[in-house]
Amino acid sequence: MIAIIDYDMGNLRSVSKAFEKLGATTVITRDPQVIAKAERVVLPGVGAFRDCMGHIEEYGLVEPIKEAVAGGRPFLAICIGLQLLFEESHEDGIHKGLGIVKGRVVRFPKPHREARSDYKIPHMGWNSIKRDKDSALLTDIPDGEYFYFVHSYYAECEEPGVTLTTTEYGVEFVSSIERDNLMATQFHPEKSQTAGLKLLKNFLEI
């Protein structure tokens, strides 16, 4: 059973439906006991960092999330879920994150006159990934595969060996991370068609 954490800021149903399409059983929940008993945990997210952290704190989910990661069960964070894992975000001020991964979240550089014509913020649409290391999460997913992104901020990871893939968009940024049982993607696998479903299937098999 997969616990999809509900803190009123995620694209919960689309994530749940993607897993259900693969034959998995999911529950959308903010109950710490349900999260603690789940075989796998998913932290999705859409919205502003400050609001997301505010809701996580309001619903008492900080410790259940940290315990799920520390407990060794497969844990997958998606989009702003990835950003929340870091120590702080510079979105509309400086805001404290979960602090599970060392680093910070910053905004893409503003476009300038010499920038390519399709460089706009937010980074929205299909873009490719470049592997930084091997991973079971990327089994049968080729280097250079395309995934769907929607974000204006990205993570600067300061923890050696954690970056799984990078992507180029004005700068080379971290598009996914992995440390032991903890995995996270800046892109949306649930919106990334065949490649995204393959990644979610790999997560189910880890």
Q: Which of 52, 55, 79, 157 is catalytic?
A: 79
Q: Please answer whether residues 179 and 159 qualify as being in contact, where contact means their C-beta atoms are separated by less than 8 angstroms.
A: yes
C-alpha span between 169 and 43 (Å, rounded): 25
Nearest to 187 by CA among 200, 198, 196, 197: 196
Q: Please answer whether residues 38 and 2 qualify as being in contact, where contact means their C-beta atoms are separated by less than 8 angstroms.
A: yes
Q: Which of 55, 123, 151, 188 is catalytic?
A: 188
- For residue 58, how many other CB atoms are within 10 A of its CB? 11
C-alpha span between 171 and 23 (Å, rounded): 37
Active site residue 190: yes
C-alpha span between 186 and 202 (Å, rounded): 17
Q: Please answer whether residues 183 and 177 qualify as being in contact, where contact means their C-beta atoms are separated by less than 8 angstroms.
A: yes
C-alpha span between 169 and 174 (Å, rounded): 11
Helix (H, G, I), strand (E, B) or coil at 176: strand
Active site residue 188: yes
Q: Which of 88, 145, 178, 190 is catalytic?
A: 190
Active site residue 158: no
The catalytic residues are 79, 188, 190
